[in-house]
Structure 1
Amino acid sequence: MSALFSPIAFGPLQLANRIVIPPMCMYSAQDGLANDFHVMHYGNLSQSGAGLLVLEATAVEARGRISAHDLGLWSDAHTDALRPVVHHMRRFSPMPVCIQLAHAGRKASCRRPWEGGGALPADDAQAWPTVSASAIPFAPTDPQPQAASLQDIAEITQAFVDAALRARQLGLDAIEIHAAHGYLLHQFLSPLSNQRTDQYGGSLDNRMRLTLEVFEAVRTAVDASMAVGVRISATDWMEPAGWDLAQSQHLAQELAARGCDFLHVSSAALHPDQKIPVGPGYQVPLAEALKDRLEGRMPVIAVGLITDPQQAEHIVQTGQADAVGIARAMLYQPRWPWEAARQLGATVHAAPQYLRCQPHGAKKLFQA
């Protein structure tokens, strides 16, 4: 039996297999509102046969958007705009759906990647002021963010809660809190971006405080039947100065103690001078180290240049991670799980409209 296609539970949420489609920004919303692109895009991915689909980073407040085109969930209008996307997925797919709630902090107010990326100049008509743990820009040429006041911190925490409640109203199955990739919660975690002298800065416990407070607030606000997990960057790749694996292990244990249902392990994007040893599965050892420290207290998702079904099978079968995230490879080949199931001799769900397309010699590939 394929380990990749064995079931797994993320807290209260049961997944048919261990393939996760991670959040991938599409930069296609208008004023944070979902539209026909999202209906098409997520409808397509919901037919992939993966165990879980995580919607893209969704801003909890307008100033927390990476770009002016990010998806948002900070008002009832955003709930109404996202509802048809969820409705059409639900009509034709049983795949569980998670949403990643995010705040970009100092990495907000940027151009879209295909428009050159990077921060908009402060005098650009489309730019807006940003906030961070400290008044330190991501890059020296970026506009300086404002150091978050205690009132800012309280309001941002409440914004995460309010967005989580809207996600619950939409009938989504899970929430992933984004504390990775150099965005706001990661900015509080890393000593490279957090030079505060109050209760949110300095010691490791202080730097972890906001991430833990946001998690606890969201976990308390939503039903116990809704899974809540966290995505982290396990290292800044800036040792010995930055956020690193040892600190991530401590954070993981603290999250597990508070009832976290899954940990999604990525890395980097906090500092432009990072040195990343990129290669196939380069982040898997980070996930493995966190999984070992957690000793089964919550599932760990590995991600990062996992592109081949045999590679994914090996990661799960050998216990390096409990699940794998297939991101850009899924954008390129949205039926990646179908092909993985064919190669590994497993079965995968497909809508009845697709049952006739099973390849010759794989007539037991699909289950309706």
Structure 2
Amino acid sequence: MTVCAKLFSPLKIGKHILNNRIIFGPHRTNFAVQNLPSKQHVNYYERRAKGGVGLTIIEGGCIHPSDYPYERAIFAYRKAVTDGYGQIAEAVHKHGCLAVAQLNHSGGQADSSLSRRETWAPSAVPEISSGEVPKIMEREDIKEVIEGFVNAAWRLKNSGLDGIEINAGQFSLLRQFLSPLTNYRSDDYGGSLENRVRFCREVLQEVRRATGSDFLIGLRLCGDEYAPWGGLNPEDCRDIARHLCKGGLVDWFTVETGSIYSLHMTSASMRHPEDYAAQPACLIAEAVDIPVCATGSIVSVKLAEKLLNEGVQLAEMTRALIADPDLPARAKEDETNIRPCILCNQDCYVNSVMNPVLSCAVNPFAGEELKETYTVSPAGFKKVLVAGAGPAGLEAAITAARRGHRVVLYERDSEPGGRLKLAARIPGCGKFQSIIDYLYRCVREIGIEIHLGSNADDSVIAAESPDAVVVATGSRPSPVPFAVGAGITFIRPEELLAGNRKVGSRVMIIDLEGAWQAPGVALSLAGEVEKISIITPEMFVSPELAKNGEFLYWYQQAFQKNIEFIPQTEVIRVSGSCLEAVDRFSREKRMFNQIDTIVPVIPAYPDQSLYLRLLKTGIQVWVAGDCVAPRNLGAAIREGRNIGLTI
């Protein structure tokens, strides 16, 4: 049992009372339809309100036509948004939750590919990823943006929302004015702290004047830009907060971190401590007399309670609430029942050009709340055998059992988890184990019959005589796509992570996957061997890591551990202690000698042998996870749940 007295105590914020201190913060969803709030938004936010969250902050809405940061952004400057915001407010209020919406202008952190016009910023500082140079804003532009905030705020007040949050944090024009990294102006909007905060203060003044004192106004600030050569540090941000909280302009501050050079530090992954962003919030909380909300990677109610006892008044637990909308209600009883957010940034990190719709690797109902049901099929109760206790098999077993089916689970290894339990052994990846532990605990609590260390072969299936079989047998290693001679030690990544550390002093990792395995294996070996190299035909080692904001982390770690990267190089053959390769473009031959161990990282191959045999028997058979096609955790859990709901 967990007692979080402070977390579940009420808090006065402005002229409103929050039922508790848990915030569901603003984040991109890609749910908008024709750039307006949609029914999917309504269902999504209502589900978290129903689960007991105290305050919901709707994702950022653009306040001016000069800002079109991504295809499915909400255009809060359109009159037509009022109806959608109103529906969200009504749905959230039914459950005693306050509802506000974030308003924003992305400034120079947008790009012109969608708007087909220049981006706006305080100075001509190129956007980091695209290199696009923004227009230096003129006074008339500043005036237009202020009017945009005012008009949008008035529109949202009339829609029935309780307030707004103005973004001066990541992806924000206002932060770009506040920061010496991006503000080089010499007029009265640049230079001194007083000048750099002028734009933000004018926005707050005009919005407060237009909406009145009963309408909540929050301000999201950056607490640390992680740019010690010239960016905002926590002390700077404390001084900014002191300046802006005067005169009742702001009802609360939300403090996040990150800048144009550190996007990955705004919603950091599991590789960083949960409280990595808390210190700036605590510093600001000591300096102001209005509530302050801590952000970052807070997914534990124990950590949230600890931070509240250390000085902040609110805790933003956004990703945790995506993973489990019922977190507040469950935390009051027993936090072990909370489906854990593992901070993997797989399906909730949707900041890519593909515009994927938000979901969650551990909770496939996120974004599809209307499907959240466990009705028993018309066919009645069945005996279901699940082969494989990786995430797909565990989720299928749990879902089918909750629908009333009798489930028996077989796993050939002595412990559950499949490939995921190996990933959890990589330094910094331990949170993968928490979702395995949670799913396996659910399996035991439901009373599912479990057979570990027992393969579901043909004789077992015949003896069990199930009505349906779910095949979740995972994957197997693929053959290497290059010539292999004698005299070289080959060790698969799975073997290394499982405990086979019989490697030589010089290890060459051949990365043909481009994701987490190559750097993960390298980091797990760092300190044990003399030299580790990663060779890949790609332009960069592990380019897929950029999708969930982990590219910089892995590179920083590799640099600190002296791991060598050899990109743009194709392996032709290995033999003895030598590896022969060619430059991907020039085709110039390269030889690497004195190699003791080769670790081939190659996309896995689906293990469908059992599935193909069962197809011939006429038994009802389903297949899920890596044995469909080796992918990520989100795909495995989603397929397991869909099958469990369908049988």
1:157-236 aligned within 5 A = 157-236=146-225
- Given the superposition, is the C-alpha separation of residues 3 and 81 from structure 1 closer, same or farther in structure 2, using an over 3 Å criterion? closer
Counterpart of 1:263 (choices 248, 253, 258) is: 253
Normalising to structure 1: TM-score of the pair? 0.84
Matched with 2:547 is none
Matched with 1:343 is 334
What is the number of residues matched between the two proteins? 331
Q: Whole-Å Cα distance in 2 between the matches of residues 161 and 78 of structure 1?
A: 15
Matched with 2:99 is 97
Give the drift of 1:177. 0.7
Matched with 1:325 is 316
Give the drift of 1:274. 8.4
Matched with 1:114 is none
Q: Is the 8 A contact 2:69 2:106 kept in 1?
A: yes
Please say if 1:308 is aligned against 2:300.
yes
Counterpart of 2:286 (choices 279, 286, 292) is: 292
Q: Is the 8 A contact 2:101 2:161 kept in 1?
A: yes
Counterpart of 2:275 (choices 278, 281, 288) is: 281
Give the drift of 1:272. 4.8
- Given the superposition, is the C-alpha separation of residues 125 and 319 from structure 1 closer, same or farther in structure 2, using an over 3 Å criterion? closer
Moved more, 251-260 or 280-289: 251-260
- Given the superposition, is the C-alpha separation of residues 131 and 16 from structure 1 closer, same or farther in structure 2, using an over 3 Å criterion? same
One-letter amino acid of the counterpart of residue 331, structure 2: A
One-letter amino acid of the counterpart of residue 209, structure 2: T
Give the drift of 1:273. 8.7
Over residues 150-195 of structure 1, what are the superposed CA-to-partner deviations in whole Å (9 max), with x where a residue is unaligned?
Answer: 0000000010000010111011112111000141000101111111
Q: Is the 8 A contact 2:61 2:75 kept in 1?
A: yes
Counterpart of 2:144 (choices 134, 155, 159) is: 155
Please say if 1:42 is aligned against 2:45.
yes
Where 2:56 maps in the other structure, the secondary structure is: strand
Give the drift of 1:13. 1.5
Unaligned runs of 5+ in 1: 110-121, 345-368
Q: Is the 8 A contact 1:285 1:320 kept in 2?
A: no
Give the drift of 1:76. 1.2
Give the drift of 1:126. 6.3
Q: Is the 8 A contact 2:19 2:96 kept in 1?
A: no
One-letter amino acid of the counterpart of residue 123, structure 2: S
Q: Whole-Å Cα distance in 2 between the matches of residues 309 and 139 of structure 1?
A: 35
Normalising to structure 2: TM-score of the pair? 0.49
One-letter amino acid of the counterpart of residue 207, structure 2: V
Please say if 1:242 is aligned against 2:242.
no
Matched with 2:128 is 139
Matched with 1:334 is 325
Q: Is the 8 A contact 2:85 2:156 kept in 1?
A: no
One-letter amino acid of the counterpart of residue 24, structure 2: I
Q: Whole-Å Cα distance in 1 between the matches of residues 263 and 105 of structure 2?
A: 22
Q: Whole-Å Cα distance in 1 between the matches of residues 114 and 264 of structure 2?
A: 31
Please say if 1:251 is aligned against 2:234.
no
- Given the superposition, is the C-alpha separation of residues 156 and 31 from structure 1 closer, same or farther in structure 2, using an over 3 Å criterion? farther
Q: Whole-Å Cα distance in 1 between the matches of residues 53 and 81 of structure 2?
A: 26
Q: Is the 8 A contact 1:309 1:343 kept in 2?
A: no
Matched with 1:348 is none
- Given the superposition, is the C-alpha separation of residues 37 and 128 from structure 1 closer, same or farther in structure 2, using an over 3 Å criterion? farther
Where 2:167 maps in the other structure, the secondary structure is: strand
Q: Whole-Å Cα distance in 2 between the matches of residues 278 and 63 of structure 1?
A: 35
Give the drift of 1:142. 2.6
Matched with 2:83 is 80
Give the drift of 1:31. 3.7
One-letter amino acid of the counterpart of residue 253, structure 2: L
Tell me which of the two structures has the higher relative contact order, counting C-alpha pairs closer than 8 angstroms and 6 or more residues apart: 1
- Given the superposition, is the C-alpha separation of residues 126 and 159 from structure 1 closer, same or farther in structure 2, using an over 3 Å criterion? closer
Q: Whole-Å Cα distance in 2 between the matches of residues 169 and 273 of structure 1?
A: 34
Q: Whole-Å Cα distance in 1 between the matches of residues 92 and 284 of structure 2?
A: 33
Q: Whole-Å Cα distance in 1 between the matches of residues 38 and 129 of structure 2?
A: 35
Where 2:180 maps in the other structure, the secondary structure is: coil
Give the drift of 1:86. 2.5
Matched with 1:7 is 10
CA RMSD of aligned residues (A): 2.4
- Given the superposition, is the C-alpha separation of residues 29 and 142 from structure 1 closer, same or farther in structure 2, using an over 3 Å criterion? farther
One-letter amino acid of the counterpart of residue 306, structure 2: H
Over residues 196-251 of structure 1, what are the superposed CA-to-partner deviations in whole Å (9 max), with x where a residue is unaligned?
Answer: 11111111111111111111111111121111110001111101411121221111
Give the drift of 1:146. 0.6
Q: Whole-Å Cα distance in 1 between the matches of residues 35 and 121 of structure 2?
A: 21
Q: Is the 8 A contact 1:237 1:274 kept in 2?
A: no
One-letter amino acid of the counterpart of residue 301, structure 1: C
Q: Is the 8 A contact 2:66 2:115 kept in 1?
A: no
Q: Whole-Å Cα distance in 2 between the matches of residues 89 and 247 of structure 1?
A: 36
Over residues 335-355 of structure 1, what are the superposed CA-to-partner deviations in whole Å (9 max), with x where a residue is unaligned?
Answer: 1111222138xxxxxxxxxxx
One-letter amino acid of the counterpart of residue 276, structure 2: Y
Where 2:80 maps in the other structure, the secondary structure is: helix
Unaligned runs of 5+ in 2: 336-647
Q: Whole-Å Cα distance in 2 between the matches of residues 140 and 57 of structure 1?
A: 21
Q: Whole-Å Cα distance in 1 between the matches of residues 33 and 301 of structure 2?
A: 36
- Given the superposition, is the C-alpha separation of residues 171 and 140 from structure 1 closer, same or farther in structure 2, using an over 3 Å criterion? closer
One-letter amino acid of the counterpart of residue 320, structure 2: A
Q: Whole-Å Cα distance in 2 between the matches of residues 29 and 143 of structure 1?
A: 26
Matched with 1:359 is none
Q: Whole-Å Cα distance in 1 between the matches of residues 243 and 41 of structure 2?
A: 35
Matched with 2:527 is none
Bigger radius of gyration among the two: 2
Where 1:320 maps in the other structure, the secondary structure is: coil
